[in-house]
Amino acid sequence: MLDTICWDSNLIRRYDLAGPRYTSYPTAAQFGSQVGTFDLLHALRDSRKALRPLSLYVHIPFCANICYYCACNKVITKDRGRAHAYLQRLEQEIQLIGCHLDPTQRVEQLHFGGGTPTFLSHDELRQLMAKLRQHLNLLDDDSGDYGIEIDPREADWSTMGLLRELGFNRVSIGLQDLDPAVQRAVNRLQSLEETRAVVEAARTLQFRSINIDLIYGLPKQTPENFARTVQEVIHLQPDRLSVFNYAHLPERFMPQRRINSQDLPTPEQKLAMLQGTIEQLTAAGYRYVGMDHFALPDEELAIAQEEATLQRNFQGYTTHGHCDLIGLGVSAISQIGDLYCQNSSDLNHYQNTLADGQLATSRGLICNADDRLRRAVIQQLICHFHLPFAEIEQTFNIDFRGYFAPQWPQLQAMAADGLIELDDTHIRVLPAGRLLVRSVCMVFDAYLDQHNRQRFSRVI
User: Of 66, 249, 284, 376, which one interacts with ligand SF4 (CB under 6 A)?
Assistant: 66
* Residue 75 within binding range of ligand SF4, rule CB under 6 A: no
Asked if residues 409 and 314 have their Cβ atoms less than 8 Å apart, the reply is no
What is the residue-wise DSSP string for 4-53?
-----HHHHHHH--B----SSSS-GGG-BTT--HHHHHHHHHHHHHHT--
Residue with Cβ nearer ligand SF4 (28 or 72): 72
User: Could you count the other beta carbons within 10 Å of the beta carbon of residue 456?
Assistant: 19
DSSP run (H or E) holding 239? none
Is there a contact between 334 and 340 (Cβ–Cβ < 8 Å)? yes
Which listed range, 41-49, 63-71, 348-356, 363-371, lies at the site for ligand SF4 (CB under 6 A)? 63-71
Site string for ligand SF4, 264-283 (x = CB under 6 A): --------------------
* Number of alpha carbons in the 13 Å side-chain half-sphere of residue 68: 21
Q: Shortest Cβ distance from residue 254 to ligand SF4 (Å)?
A: 11
With CB under 6 A as the rule, give the number of residues binding ligand SF4.
10
* Nearer Cβ to ligand SF4 (173/359): 173
Q: Which stretch binds ligand SF4 (CB under 6 A): 20-28, 67-75, 218-226, 370-378?
A: 67-75
Quick one: 70 or 166, whose CB is closer to ligand SF4? 70
Query: Which residue lies nearer to ligand SF4 by CB, 214 or 387?
Result: 214
In the complex, least distance from residue 29 CB atom to ligand SF4, rounded to whole angstroms: 21
Per CB under 6 A, the list member of 11, 12, 58, 63 interacting with ligand SF4 is 63
In the complex, what is the shortest distance from the CB of residue 382 to ligand SF4, in angstroms, rounded to a whole number?
24
DSSP class of 132 = H
Please tell me whether residue 75 adopts helix, strand or coil conformation. Answer: strand
Burial class (CB in 10 A: 0-12, 13-18, 19+), 123: exposed
β-pairing, 106-114 vs 145-150, is parallel
Kindly identify the residues of this chain, within the stretch 107-146, that bind ligand SF4 according to CB under 6 A. Answer: 114-116
Instruction: Give the residue with the Cβ less far from ligand SF4, 59 or 270.
Output: 59
DSSP character at residue 323: S
Nearer to ligand SF4, 78 or 451 (CB): 78
Q: Does 67 bind ligand SF4 (CB under 6 A)?
A: yes
Count, in order, helices (H) and strands (E) of the chain. 17, 20
Verify binding: residue 70, ligand SF4, rule CB under 6 A: yes
- Closer residue to ligand SF4 in complex, CB, 70/241: 70
According to CB under 6 A, which residues from 281 to 340 bind ligand SF4? none
Residues 207/168, Cβ–Cβ less than 8 Å: yes
* Contact string 208-247 vs ligand SF4 (x = CB under 6 A): ----------------------------------------
Q: Show Cβ contacts of residue 290 under 8 Å, excluding neighbours closer than 6 positions.
A: 305, 317, 382, 383, 385, 434, 437
Residue at 195: amino acid letter: T
Query: What residues are paired with 59 via a beta bridge?
Result: 113
At position 21, the amino acid (one-letter code) is R
Query: Residue 248 and residue 252: Cα distance in Å, rounded?
Result: 9
DSSP per residue, 372-408: HHHHHHHHHHHHHSEEEHHHHHHHHT--HHHHTGGGH
CB of 272 to ligand SF4, least distance (A): 25
We find the least distance from the C-beta atom of residue 43 to ligand SF4, in angstroms, to be 28
Binding segment for ligand SF4 (CB under 6 A), chosen from 24-32, 64-72, 429-437, 442-450, is 64-72
Query: Hey, is 195 helix, strand or coil?
Result: helix
Q: Which of 39, 108, 151, 213 binds ligand SF4 (CB under 6 A)?
A: 151
Give the DSSP letter of residue 456. S
CB 17 → ligand SF4: shortest distance, Å?
25
Q: Count CA atoms within 13 Å of residue 224 on its CB side.
A: 0
Binding site for ligand SF4 (CB under 6 A): 63, 66-67, 70, 72, 74, 114-116, 151
